[in-house]
Amino acid sequence: MKVYPTAKIRNIALVGHGGTGKTSLAEAMIYNTGATKRLGKVDDGNTVADFLPEETKKKITISTSLIPCEYRDHKINILDTPGYADFYFEVVGALKVVDSMLVVLSAAAGVEVQTEIVWDDYPAMPKIAFINKMDRENADFYKVLDEMKSTFTDNIVPVQIPIGAEDNFRGVVDLVKMKALIFEAGTGKLNEEDIPAEMMDEVETYKEELIEAAAEANDDLLTKYLEGEELSDEEIKAGIKEAAANGSAVFVFCGSALNNIGVASLMDFCVDCSATPDSNALVEGKDLESEPLAAQVFKTIADPYIGRLTMFRIFTGQMKADSVVYNANKEKDEKIAQLLIMTGKEQAAVPEAFPGDIVAVAKLAVTTTGDTLTLKSNPVTMEAIQFPEPTLSMAIEPKSKGDEDKLSGAIQRLLEEDPTISVQKNTETKQTILKTMGDTHADILIDKLSRKFGVDVVSKEMKIPYRETIRSMVQTEGKHKKQSGGHGQYGHVWIKFEPLAEGDFQFEENVFGGSVPRQYFPAVEKGLIEAMEEGVLAGYPVTNLKATLYDGSYHSVDSSEMAFKMAARLAFRKGVEAAKPVLLEPIMNVEIEVPDTYMGDIIGDLNSKRGRVQGMEPAGRKQMIKAQVPLGEMARYTIDLKSMTQGRGKFRMDFSHYEEVPAQNAEKIIEKARQEKEEK
């Protein structure tokens, strides 16, 4: 693959809901360049973009892949992104490094959830739309067009309208050329013909919309249009180009990616009209080649054989093979051995890359996703990529007991590759907690651990870190006395236990007359701290406890630190049992963002989860509900919320405080804990 200058590069992300045909479109685009000799199919598992075993198995895209299309002496860097909510972070990474998005919609399904989400999240990014699957049953171009216009506030303007639909779909009318383009399915070839007479009224209506959108992109053209002058074809094309590049209009194409109908026209538009690298908001107004190097990593692939593969876009400056760059985030030099152009999983080395290009490097030492590669002499740091936070938690453990260390290493590699997962060891429950974007994301990660790193893991329900405390003050005795020849053991304490308003534990001593020698005070405190690790109700740690040692006795020969530690533990057990022990649960601050339509369902569901709604406020086109909810009720909320809102809701939560569990709930938790203890 040859090296392309900035002016000849186009960076476009294919986005949209799962199943709209983004991967099939990428396949048709690269086929039209002659780089492949056959049109791969997702169902056959032989596309260039979906090459991971998990993708071919599930027949969905789970990881963004780069498909560079060399077309008409230009390079269109196509980033094929996933369309499922669990992998939205891949879309976020891709959209940081492209200049426009190509939104793919199904002619049968219309505007779907993930299409809405990505459109709303990136309102300023220039967009092109492709209504795909025009040859499918129930395909309706005009219904989808109306749905787009009613859903989005953008100026949505067809550049093409279809000739026929479903089995009768055979081509499109090009509203710029004013010609009918009749396609030969599977070849991408087209034959120009006159527009069918019965379509002319409709064509004229949409042609006028197109001229208006072209005129509105340029003040001179708009003045001419408003004064009633006719715009020439060249002026219309110039206006369309300006509108497409600055995002003032969304131009709509249609066709069938699977049968390569309409794809060549779309590629022509990408070359002629889509936003160029120098128009990107991050570098607008700069001379890209004379600026210092600034390249941002948007994706990392962790491969157990070739090591880490780092993908990035060069925003300014140039990069050469066999050079040294500076990681501004890690403040470390990195050696660039080879610059690679990725085409799916295939790699081709190039000697250099210009601003605007998307390239990869293998085996960088410290660089991770989001980092900026720059020059040490003139460092630049680009704004971090804001990836979504993981919300589904589960416990994982290796199937084989000896694989703990192996699991730790494999997880580290996964963390390099996936910026959204979180893995933590919960010291209270002794579980390793994996946080992901959803159940499909979790399944894929567990598959990867086995396939890529040879670690088989099992997932388990996350244990809730309950705690125990007391509600009244008691005074209790603890005596440890043992005689078995030679020195015996003797420790004797009186301790007052009472609730502590703030803090986990407070120890005081108020001993008079030396009834307990001072050297044994630390042993008493240590005995209590150890005893607090396991409460009397269900074995959960005890908190909010104040203990005051006020009396006791000792033996000059038989007393020891160990004896007083044991006496303290006995006093703790008796005292806590008598001091009205209760179970505490973690309460989370939860923020839920949903469209108005679902407010009633969400609030009703929160009430059923013992949640307390704290307030509501507008959040763009949605509403933000703030609530406090017990963590024990939120274990599967990621899945529940998707179900209740058809995927349109999102939430985040963080820890607020502990509070007492209602009696009826506490009984079930205590009983379950006792059963688990008996089973062990």
Task: For the chain, list the domains and their CATH numbers.
Answer: 6-279 (3.40.50.300), 294-374 (2.40.30.10), 392-460 (3.30.70.870), 468-579 (3.30.230.10), 585-666 (3.30.70.240)
Higher pLDDT pick, 94 / 414: 94
- Inform me whether the pLDDT recorded for 484 exceeds 80: no
Confidence of residue 675 (pLDDT cuts 50, 70, 90): confident
Mean pLDDT of 567-571: 97
Q: Cα(594)–Cα(589) distance, rounded to whole angstroms?
A: 16
The vertex-19 CA angle with 17 and 25, nearest 5°, equals: 95
Residue 197: per-residue pLDDT: 93
Residue 352: per-residue pLDDT: 97
- Do 181 and 191 meet the contact criterion of CB atoms below 8 Å apart? yes
CA end-to-end distance (rounded Å), the chain: 62
pLDDT in tens, 576-611: 999 999 999 999 999 999 999 999 999 999 999 999
Residue 158 φ/ψ region, left for φ over 0, alpha for ψ in the -120 to 50 degree band, beta for the rest: beta
Side-chain-facing half-sphere of 306: CA atoms under 13 Å: 10
Confidence of residue 54 (pLDDT cuts 50, 70, 90): confident
Confidence of residue 306 (pLDDT cuts 50, 70, 90): low
Closest CA to 634 of 619, 656, 660: 656
The total of other beta-carbon atoms located within 10 Å of residue 464's CB is: 18
The total of other beta-carbon atoms located within 10 Å of residue 204's CB is: 12
pLDDT in tens, 539-553: 999 999 999 999 999
- Average pLDDT, whole number, for the chain? 93
Confidence of residue 136 (pLDDT cuts 50, 70, 90): very high
The vertex-29 CA angle with 82 and 146, nearest 5°, equals: 65
- Inform me whether the pLDDT recorded for 486 exceeds 90: no
Residue 1: per-residue pLDDT: 80
- Do 491 and 549 meet the contact criterion of CB atoms below 8 Å apart? no
pLDDT in tens, 83-111: 999 999 999 999 999 999 999 999 999 99
Distances in Å between the alpha carbon of 19 and those of 27, 113, 241, 597, 650? 14, 12, 29, 25, 22
Higher pLDDT pick, 9 / 306: 9
Phi, psi dihedrals of residue 476, rounded to the nearest 5°: -145, 155
Helix, strand and coil content of the chain, in percent to the nearest 5, comes to 30, 30, 35
